[in-house]
Amino acid sequence: MNKLIVLAVIMLAFTANVFSQVQATNTAGARILAPLAITSNVNMHFGTIMRGTAASTIQLTPANVRTVTSGDATLSTAAPTSAAGSFTVTGESGLVYTITLPADGVVTLTGPGTAMPVNTFVSNPSGTGTLTGGTSTLTVGATLTVGFPQTSGAYSGNFIVRVDYQ
């Protein structure tokens, strides 16, 4: 009888252990995105400007509209003409990207005379863009300060536009 009780207790211990084990299945996953890239298509150019009798500021919009916002410089239609900066952004279709433009005080145009600051960068789209079909066009404008007296000649400088997935 004692052997029977011992056997029953052992069987009950194994049975209780089997019933107390519970498990679940989970699924692991990952999403791989196409790399985000930006390519420069058209270089920004403020066009040909005739200096005035005082320092002037020239605003160039992302839609390539130039305006003298202060001073008395005159905008010329002579070559080279103005152009907003243009970029192509490529990546994963439907995703949103953020745009980082240069801060004020970072970009200057250098040439035969005093360097001219380029500030107040703006873009279209502004702040963020969406990759429709995996691509988006980004245009950039800014404001140029022409000193007085600014030496005649060609001026140039580089600027960086950064894009990141949001």
Helix (H) or strand (E) holding 5: helix 2-20
Exposed e or buried b per residue across 60-79, where buried means at least 16 C-beta atoms within 10 angstroms of its C-beta: bbbebebebeebebebeeee
Tens of pLDDT, residues 32-41:
998 999 999 9
Residue 1 lies in a domain: no
In the prediction, which pLDDT does 165 show? 97
Residue 58 lies in a domain: yes
Residue 19 lies in a domain: no
Residue 132 lies in a domain: yes
Residue 2 lies in a domain: no
Helix (H) or strand (E) holding 100: strand 96-100
Tens of pLDDT, residues 105-128:
999 999 999 999 999 999 999 999
Residue 100 lies in a domain: yes
Q: Taking the model in full, what pTM does it have?
A: 0.83
Domain that holds residue 101: 34-165
pLDDT tier at 18 (50, 70, 90 boundaries)?
A: low
Residue 17 lies in a domain: no
* Cβ count near 91 (within 10 Å): 19
- The number of residues making up the chain comes to 166
CATH code for position 114: 2.60.40
Number of independent structural domains in the chain: 1
Residue 65 lies in a domain: yes
In the prediction, which pLDDT does 151 show? 97
CB-based burial label for 46 (10 Å; 0-12, 13-18, 19+): buried
- Averaged pLDDT for residues 24-39: 95
- Averaged pLDDT for residues 57-73: 98
